[in-house]
Amino acid sequence: MRSFPGRAGVWLGFLALLLLLPHALSYSQQEILVFLTINILLVVSYRLLTLTGEWSLGHAVIMGVGAYASALYTKELGIFVPASMILGACTAALVALVLSYPLFRMKGFYFLIGSFAAGEIIRLLWKRFREPFGGPKGLKRIDPMPDFDIAVWRFDFFEPVSYYYFAAAVVGFSLWLMRRIERSPVGLTFHAVHWQDKLAEASGVNVRAYRTLAFVIASGFAGLSGALLAHYIGAVNPNMFDLELMVFILTWTIIGGTATIYGPVIGCIALTIINEIVLREIGLEQMRPFVYGLLLIVSVLFLPKGLESLVQKGLARVARAKRGEES
Amino acid sequence: MSEKFLEVSGLGMRFGGITAIDNLGFSVEYGEIRGVIGPNGAGKTTTFNVISGFYKPTAGSVRLRGETISGLRMYEVARRGIVRTFQHSTLFTEMTVMENVLVGTHMRYRPNIFSSIVGRDAEDRRRARTRATESLEFFGLLERASDRAADLPHGHQRALGLAIALAAQPEVMLLDEPFAGMNPEETKSMMSLMFKLRDSGVTILIVEHDMRAIMGICDYITVMNFGRLLAEGRPEEIRTDPAVVEAYLGSARDVA
């Protein structure tokens, strides 16, 4: 990397942008930024699940498992908040592991429907049992992230800016982990299972174990995103994790594309901007499902490889231009 | 030595009312090239699918060095040293040639997610890459290592299928129609690759329609018809075996 500003420079600039971003926004926009950050973790974890070729409809509920678990650990067991989030993520991963036994007897469409049914069962359990899940009204007054000071900075986590920094750090670290997994031989095996499961198995790959592994890891990160959400809002209820959220996850993923890790991120950011800024400005919030549906159709028709394909083309052009300069 | 290297005995495979394999038995010596031939529908591919663990046989057994491997899952059979290729070009088409072969090294260098994350698997990754490189070199594919598998010409794709299998360092390779769709030139180079493979200590089983290729490379041939063993012998014996000739051409009476 001889060229200025270089790779490190780009990353530093990006980091500075992320740090300064909330200060350029209004209070309500800062809140949206927190949700966006959490949703990015959710949608990237969903992509990890789809790496092995299976699409699930239970991911929103798995996020809820993390949210409920983390909330209950603080409420019932008095566990310190950031620790409860990690335990919540582990709980979501564990639930996914249990679900994987029946679910991975199925493939493709059957898995899709099976995962939806499994998710709905969990959601109905939350609704049905007032103890400990709080029934249809859910859980309220969940402990917030405790305040703390680092040198001269005070973090009051009722402030969206503070919580944004915290969430961004957690999400950034999670994204780095997921990227590392994907680029490792484990990730290569996920791709192999996706493209040709028979050939992978003939090469000695335990296909079902790898499908389960992807499902469990993805669910753990989804659970973490749920826990982040629960301790920010301070309340969870079964309807937060219903099919509507699942449709959003799918829309973000499809519009963004799944070939790269930044694809779903772009999808999530683009739709959040359209949703929260454009639609809210012109007062068409009620039209959201309609607009999402329309965008989904348009993107499948005209941009089947997602928004990421535009970025890939752009990067390729930059690389070509650079080579042209050098020669 | 009474214990056979690879032994198929009393093998039966039924799908509902259809008997695809019926009481099939043969054994393969270490280091030979064995052809399995027969008219269409004779049960050759089904036999392969049973040996490789793709199907569970309804009767009989397959033993490798005395250990029963029939009924095991395909990846378990692979881990015991029997690796198969598929009809047509079954590859990870969207991945690069190198990545394809790296998947083949999966058994030798089993990835571990935790050491991957903390970066303790550098040594394994390096060895896997070395192994994959050797396998690509063996099949003359090294200069195409960074191409997408889907972009390779047909002959190269077939060779890549073998390279993936070889990367797993198998004892036995089951090749399902390796010459299908190849021109004489490609067939010839594929045949010399198989001799090379055999000389490197791999026992090879081939299901094939291309008679000229099979007669040219096999040490021993098993002929199947209607799911049963029809004949067994050296290529020159098989060529003149009246039962085989009849199965392939119909009896002389029908012709006359």
Q: How far is CA B49 from the centre of its chain?
A: 10
The reply to whether A184 touches chain B by the CB within 8 Å rule is yes
Query: How many CB atoms are closer than 10 A to CB A157?
Result: 20
**Minimal Cα–Cα distance from A304 to chain B, Å?**
16
Rounded average pLDDT over B118-147: 89
Evaluate if residue A157 carries a pLDDT over 80.
no
**DSSP assignment string, B56-120:** --SEEEEEETTEE-TTS-HHHHHHTTEEE--SS--S-TTSBHHHHHHHHTTTTT---HHHHHHT-
The reply to whether A199 touches chain B by the CB within 8 Å rule is yes
User: Which positions ≥6 away from A268 have C-beta within 8 Å?
Assistant: A36, A39, A40, A43, A252, A256
Query: How many CB atoms are closer than 10 A to CB B70?
Result: 20
Average pLDDT, whole number, for chain A? 89
Rounded average pLDDT over B100-125: 87
Between chains, do B86 and A205 touch, taking CB under 8 Å as contact? no
Q: How far is CA B91 from the centre of its chain?
A: 15
Domain boundaries defined on chain A: 28-241, 242-327
Q: Which residue has the higher pLDDT, A286 or A141?
A: A141
User: Do residues A155 and A149 make contact, with C-beta atoms less than 8 angstroms apart?
Assistant: yes
Q: Which residue has the higher pLDDT, B77 or A143?
A: B77
Summarised one tens digit per residue, pLDDT across range B47-60 is 999 999 999 999 99
Closest residue in chain B to residue A177, using alpha carbons only: B117
In chain B, how many H helices and how many E strands? Answer: 11, 10
Q: What is the pLDDT of residue B248?
A: 75
Rounded average pLDDT over B113-128: 86
- A134 is written with which tokens? 């709080």
Host H or E run for residue B8: strand B6-15
Evaluate if residue A30 carries a pLDDT over 60.
yes
Q: Indicate the range of A107-116, A219-228, A317-326, B125-134 predicted with least confidence.
A: A317-326
**B 180-209 residues with CB below 8 A of A?**
none
Evaluate if residue B249 carries a pLDDT over 80.
no
pTM, full prediction: 0.89
ipTM of predicted assembly, 2 dp: 0.86
Comparing CA positions, the residue from A120, A139, A142 lying closest to residue A131 is: A139
Rounded average pLDDT over B32-43: 87
Query: How many CB atoms are closer than 10 A to CB B14?
Result: 14
**Residue A49, CB half-sphere, CA atoms under 13 Å: how many?**
34
Q: What is the pLDDT of residue A108?
A: 86
Beta bridge partners of B174: B84, B205
Comparing CA positions, the residue from B160, B162, B170 lying closest to residue B203 is: B170
Summarised one tens digit per residue, pLDDT across range A275-314 is 877 777 777 777 777 888 888 888 888 888 888 888 888 8
**DSSP assignment string, B109-149:** T---HHHHHHT--HHHHHHHHHHHHHHHHHTT-GGGTTSBG
Between chains, do A202 and B83 touch, taking CB under 8 Å as contact? yes
Comparing CA positions, the residue from A181, A238, A247, A234 lying closest to residue A45 is: A181
A201 contact residues in B (CB cutoff 8 A): 73-75, 78
CATH architecture type of domain B1-81+211-256: 3-Layer(aba) Sandwich (3.40)
